[in-house]
């Protein structure tokens, strides 16, 4: 029979999303302690290679090494596949201020966001959580596990801290801020970092863009 480590590697290779520890244990018929030890061995064995083992969105997956990002992008992603500046700005607002309503996003962006919100929802980066108990009971939105996976985050608490003066929630209400040139410049940098990330990718390629994007998201809301 194949070793525990080899069986876990096979499960991770076959998974189309981060594999939860409990699911791995069930698949390979091993205890959590045994699986965690094997995962550490796998991670160590991949040092210096083009693949890494990442813990993202509550599970484990094999991903391409960040240093190989450009090569993988050129191989997989046509130039036309990219997230627009409007999509990135809207996504960052939802990520930092969630749960958030469409009206709250529009109050910060200063434009209608119906189309952008629908695009983000279609791509499973945001989802409806419910309705806010205020007049009109507007729909509230949050980010998804796919968002965490795409940006290499285990949870929302791993987002970089917001810069001083960025919009925040105070007593449940969004406190806006004036738009300034620095935000436009930051968004240009993010746009370059994530160009192509939204296209369909094979499992190993889905984390190629995660590091620079996670570091840059906070700047999308800078003054």
Q: Could you report the per-residue pLDDT of 185-200, keeping only the tens digit for each?
A: 444 444 443 443 443 3
Average pLDDT in the 94-117 region?
89
Q: Check residues 164 and 102 and name the one with the higher pLDDT.
A: 102
Half-sphere exposure of 192 (CA within 13 A, CB side): 5
Whether 37 and 139 share a structural domain: no
- Taking the alpha carbons at both ends of the chain, their separation in whole angstroms is 59
* Mean pLDDT of the chain, nearest integer: 76
Q: Does residue 156 surpass a pLDDT of 70?
A: yes
Whether 89 and 193 share a structural domain: yes
Q: What is the extent of the structural domain holding 48?
A: 4-76
Q: What are phi and psi of 174, to 5 degrees?
A: -80, 125
Helix ranges (DSSP H) in the chain: 4-14, 21-28, 32-45, 69-76, 85-97, 102-109, 114-122, 145-150, 181-194, 210-216
Whether 93 and 171 share a structural domain: yes
Identify the pLDDT of residue 82: 64
Whether 174 and 212 share a structural domain: yes
Average pLDDT in the 94-99 region?
88
Instruction: Tell me which of 39, 57, 76 is where a domain ends.
Output: 76
Identify the pLDDT of residue 176: 52
116-120, 141-145, 149-153: range with lowest mean pLDDT? 149-153
Percent of the chain with pLDDT over 70: 70
Average pLDDT in the 29-48 region?
94
pLDDT band at 155 (very low <50, low <70, confident <90, very high): confident
Whether 70 and 99 share a structural domain: no
Average pLDDT in the 202-208 region?
34
Identify the pLDDT of residue 30: 94
Whether 173 and 200 share a structural domain: yes
Q: What are phi and psi of 197, to 5 degrees?
A: -65, -25
Q: How many domains does the chain contain in total?
A: 2
Instruction: Indicate yes or no: pTM above 0.75.
Output: no
Whether 120 and 140 share a structural domain: yes
Identify the pLDDT of residue 177: 44
Whether 208 and 165 share a structural domain: yes
Helix ranges (DSSP H) in 60-132: 69-76, 85-97, 102-109, 114-122
Measured between alpha carbons, how far is 151 from 159 in angstroms, rounded to an integer? 9
Whether 200 and 141 share a structural domain: yes
**CATH number for position 171:** 1.10.10.10
Judge whether 161 and 222 are in contact, CB under 8 Å. Answer: no
Whether 109 and 208 share a structural domain: yes
Identify the pLDDT of residue 102: 92
Instruction: Tell me which of 76, 101, 121 is where a domain ends.
Output: 76
Q: Does residue 118 surpass a pLDDT of 60?
A: yes
Q: At a CB cut-off of 8 Å and minimum separation 6, what does 25 contact? A: 31, 32, 35
Identify the pLDDT of residue 59: 92
pLDDT band at 169 (very low <50, low <70, confident <90, very high): low
Q: If we measure between CA atoms, which residue out of 213, 210, 194, 208 comes closest to residue 72? A: 208
Half-sphere exposure of 18 (CA within 13 A, CB side): 22
Whether 69 and 99 share a structural domain: no
Identify the pLDDT of residue 87: 87
Instruction: Tell me which of 76, 99, 117 is where a domain ends.
Output: 76
Q: If we measure between CA atoms, which residue out of 202, 197, 198, 218 comes closest to residue 89? A: 218
Whether 93 and 49 share a structural domain: no
18, 58, 108, 177, 179 from 167: Cα distances, Å:
32, 28, 8, 6, 11
């Amino acid at each position: 029979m194949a070793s525990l480590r080899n069986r876990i590697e096979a499960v991770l290779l076959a998974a189309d999303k981060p594999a939860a520890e409990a699911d791995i244990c069930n698949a390979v018929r091993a205890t959590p302690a045994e699986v965690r030890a094997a995962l550490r061995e796998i991670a160590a064995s991949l040092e210096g290679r083009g693949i890494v083992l990442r813990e993202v969105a509550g599970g484990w997956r094999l991903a391409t090494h960040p240093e190989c990002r450009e090569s993988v992008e050129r191989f997989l992603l046509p130039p036309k596949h990219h997230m627009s500046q409007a999509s990135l700005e809207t996504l960052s607002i939802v990520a930092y201020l969630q749960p958030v309503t469409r009206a709250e996003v529009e109050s910060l962006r200063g434009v209608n966001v119906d189309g952008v919100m629908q695009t983000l929802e279609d791509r499973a980066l945001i989802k409806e959580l419910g309705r806010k108990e205020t007049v009109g009971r507007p729909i509230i939105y949050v980010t998804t596990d796919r968002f965490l996976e795409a940006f290499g985050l285990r949870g929302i608490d791993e987002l970089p801290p917001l810069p001083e003066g960025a919009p925040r929630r105070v007593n449940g209400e969004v406190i806006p801020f004036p738009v300034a040139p620095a935000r436009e410049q930051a968004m240009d940098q993010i746009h370059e970092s994530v160009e192509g990330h939204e296209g369909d990718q094979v499992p190993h390629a889905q984390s190629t863009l995660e590091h620079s994007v996670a570091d840059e998201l906070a700047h999308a809301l800078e003054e």
